[in-house]
């Protein structure tokens, strides 16, 4: 029955759930940021460069990649978070495209400004469109799953614990109040800019962590993986599931990642069916698939039929 759920598909679902949670945090605060694909790229490239160029283990590369993404998010967030709505979305989307283009053409820029010496080889750091390939290494298998999958599961569990606590915490209530009415939150003495920056930086850290842990799974890290379409996909996963509860992004990412595999028998038509399902879900479930009211109404239908035969 679950023959489609191979280890690579399961890994992709876990990675996409992390990315959906990263944008959920900013959406929960009322920020329409599309920078997550760029931060994922930073996490992935920093990690693969450290793993291929040094003797650092994945854990150290993971921590360093998140630290660099947090620093970039602070530098980016201070100016762009003055914007709102579609203007913020355009600015952060532009950041993601700048990151992708720098990764694509970074070697050319480095060689352009580097002092040329006779007989010296050109610098190859990002390797342009071909990207960087992590050398193959056989992972140990625990309980039928490779070590890389367990690492993804561990990181996702940490994120879920964080969001469960956040939903009921004072910080969660502050972020929700900023989303509902920013002016009223500021009038109550809430440091709106500081909390918006905190949500933006935390979202960047989560996306960078997902990018870092995706390196041993994907193995070929190339700029095409972090394009405009990836930024839109991350937003779609969160919106489809719903942005009022942390379970929404999990549902949206899990469904949209699984659908192409479930509809593989449709061949060329599967993208059309996939898009149709997404469109119908957004039209008839504007609050997302994880909306509790929808499931409560669905649960009551059989009971009403029993009461009124």
Q: pLDDT tens for residues 109-156?
A: 777 666 656 656 666 778 788 888 888 777 788 888 889 999 999 999
Q: Does residue 131 sit within a domain?
A: yes
The closest alpha carbon to 92, from 228, 253, 189, 254, belongs to 228
Note down the domain range covering 128: 7-226
Q: Does residue 295 sit within a domain?
A: no
Q: Does residue 118 sit within a domain?
A: yes
Looking at the 3D structure of the chain, how many domains does it have? 1
Residue 142 in 3-state DSSP?
strand
Kindly report which listed range (9-23, 92-106, 230-244) carries the lowest average pLDDT score. Answer: 230-244
The closest alpha carbon to 46, from 19, 71, 58, 64, belongs to 64
Q: Does residue 113 sit within a domain?
A: yes
Q: Does residue 275 sit within a domain?
A: no
Q: State mean pLDDT over 88-92.
A: 95
pLDDT of 159 over the 60 cut: yes
Residue matched to tokens 């080889």: 121
Q: State mean pLDDT over 226-246.
A: 89
Q: What percent of the chain has pLDDT over 70?
A: 87
Kindly report which listed range (13-22, 107-116, 294-303) carries the lowest average pLDDT score. Answer: 294-303
- What confidence score (pLDDT) does residue 267 get? 67
Token pair for residue 54? 């040094």
298 pLDDT band, cuts 50/70/90, is low
Token pair for residue 1? 């029955």
Kindly report which listed range (3-12, 36-45, 50-59, 147-156) carries the lowest average pLDDT score. Answer: 3-12
Q: Does residue 124 sit within a domain?
A: yes
Q: pLDDT tens for residues 268-294?
A: 776 677 778 778 877 877 777 777 676
> Which residue has better confidence, 23 or 107?
23
Residue partners of 46: CB distance under 8 A and separation at least 6: 61, 64, 65, 68, 69, 208, 212
Decide if 209 contacts 36 (C-beta within 8 A): no
Residue 31 in 3-state DSSP?
coil
Q: State mean pLDDT over 178-196.
A: 92
pLDDT of 30 over the 80 cut: yes
pLDDT of 252 over the 60 cut: yes
Q: What percent of the chain has pLDDT over 90?
A: 54
The Cα 15–Cα 149 span in angstroms is 10
DSSP string, 207-240: HHHHHHHHHHHH-EE-GGGGSHHHHHHHHHHHHH
Decide if 12 contacts 178 (C-beta within 8 A): no
- What confidence score (pLDDT) does residue 72 get? 97
Decide if 31 contacts 204 (C-beta within 8 A): no
Geometric angle at alpha carbon 127, from 67 and 101, rounded to 5°: 65
Decide if 20 contacts 239 (C-beta within 8 A): no
Q: pLDDT tens for residues 197-214?
A: 999 999 999 999 999 999
- What confidence score (pLDDT) does residue 168 get? 87
> Which residue has better confidence, 106 or 82?
82
Q: State mean pLDDT over 214-232.
A: 92
1 pLDDT band, cuts 50/70/90, is very low
- What confidence score (pLDDT) does residue 131 get? 85
- What confidence score (pLDDT) does residue 50 get? 93
Q: State mean pLDDT over 45-53.
A: 93
- What confidence score (pLDDT) does residue 2 get? 47
Q: Does residue 179 sit within a domain?
A: yes
What mean pLDDT, rounded, does the chain reach? 86
Decide if 224 contacts 137 (C-beta within 8 A): no
- CA 110 centroid distance within chain: 29
Q: Does residue 95 sit within a domain?
A: yes
């Amino acid at each position: 029955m679950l023959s489609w759920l191979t280890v690579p598909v399961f890994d992709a679902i876990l990675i996409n759930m992390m990315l959906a949670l990263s944008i959920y945090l900013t959406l929960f605060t009322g920020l329409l940021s599309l920078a997550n694909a760029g931060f994922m790229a930073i996490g992935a490239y920093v990690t693969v460069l450290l793993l291929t160029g040094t003797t650092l283990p994945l854990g150290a590369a993971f921590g360093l990649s998140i630290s660099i993404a947090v620093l970039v998010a602070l530098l980016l967030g201070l100016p762009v978070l003055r914007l709102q709505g579609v203007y913020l979305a355009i600015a952060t989307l532009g950041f993601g495209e700048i990151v992708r283009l720098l990764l694509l053409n970074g070697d050319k820029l480095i060689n352009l400004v580097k002092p040329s010496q006779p007989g010296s080889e050109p610098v190859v750091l990002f390797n342009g469109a071909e990207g960087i390939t992590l050398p193959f290494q056989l992972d140990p298998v625990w309980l039928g799953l490779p070590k890389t999958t367990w690492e993804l599961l561990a990181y996702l569990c940490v994120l879920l614990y964080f969001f469960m606590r956040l939903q009921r915490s004072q910080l969660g209530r502050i972020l929700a109040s900023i989303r509902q009415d920013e002016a009223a939150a500021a009038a109550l003495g809430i440091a709106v800019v500081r909390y918006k920056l905190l949500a933006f930086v935390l979202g960047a850290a989560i996306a960078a962590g997902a990018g870092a842990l995706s390196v041993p799974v994907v193995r070929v890290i190339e700029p095409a993986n972090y394009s405009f379409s990836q930024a839109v996909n991350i937003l779609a996963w969160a919106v489809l599931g719903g942005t009022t509860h942390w379970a929404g992004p999990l549902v949206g990412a899990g469904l949209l990642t699984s659908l192409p595999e479930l509809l593989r028998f449709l061949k060329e038509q599967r993208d059309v069916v996939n898009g149709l399902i997404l469109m119908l879900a957004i039209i008839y479930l504007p609050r997302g698939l994880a909306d509790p009211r929808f499931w409560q109404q669905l649960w009551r239908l059989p009971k009403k039929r029993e009461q009124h035969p």
